[in-house]
Chain A
Amino acid sequence: NAGVTQTPKFRILKIGQSMTLQCTQDMNHNYMYWYRQDPGMGLKLIYYSVGAGITDKGEVPNGYNVSRSTTEDFPLRLELAAPSQTSVYFCASKIRGTTTEQYFGPGTRLTVT
């Protein structure tokens, strides 16, 4: 199993550009999450999904969009990049249940200039 994979690893965007961060998991997990990590701030939840076709907002959804058309994929879309979106983005997945742990991808480091 590859686990959770994310592409790209690094990206530099200009203000106003758009991009999609890809996330794929091969563990047949129902739940998937997108977090952003900023220095000293821990992880903030952007969006999450409990299954194909179902998504919901987290703490910091503004400026982002998601879709979940399959169990495996959970892409994160930035429509109009802003410097405030400079961050490291992590995708995670887990099986159903509040007692189960999350599995994280290696992250995407995004810089918006």
Chain B
Amino acid sequence: AQSVTQLDSQVPVFEEAPVELRCNYSSSVSVYLFWYVQYPNQGLQLLLKYLSGSTLVKGINGFEAEFNKSQTSFHLRKPSVHISDTAEYFCAVSGGYQKVTFGTGTKLQVIP
């Protein structure tokens, strides 16, 4: 079985400040980790993914995430957020049987 925990349901941050969105996972098999972004009234789109190799993964729009196997975490970071980053962010894990398990999402609110 696999699961994903996003502890923060909402994260308010001022424009141009850094942000970290937290994601922890559990799985009994090797995992592949994803971050998706959902802008208002749209479907989800891929931000970045970790498959293997370097634990620091860079994605679109200046986001990056670090895979930490010992802490079973895959936190998403951006050094300086913009108003356009206001969205909901979902962490997901794919570990087998072609199913993907999503976290409950974190709403990032960028304050001007």
Contacts and interface: CB of A to CB of B under 8 A. Distances in A.
Contact of A50 (B32, B36, B98): B98
Interface stretch (A12-20, A60-68, A73-81, A99-107): A99-107
Interface residues of A, number: 22
Interface residues of B, number: 24
A105 B43 contact: yes
Nearest to B103: A42
A99 B51 contact: yes
A4 B43 CA distance: 10
A107 B43 contact: yes
B18 interface: no
Contacts of A104: 36, 43-45
Contacts of B43: 4, 90, 92, 104-107
Given A40-B9, A41-B104, A102-B44, 14 more contacts: A31-B98, A33-B100, A35-B102, A40-B104, A40-B105, A43-B90, A58-B99, A92-B43, A99-B51, A102-B100, A104-B43, A104-B45, A106-B42, A107-B43
17 contacts: A33-B100, A40-B9, A40-B104, A42-B90, A42-B102, A42-B103, A43-B90, A45-B99, A45-B100, A48-B98, A92-B44, A98-B95, A99-B51, A99-B94, A101-B46, A104-B45, A106-B43
Interface of B: 6, 9, 32, 34, 36, 41-46, 49, 51, 90, 94-96, 98-100, 102-105
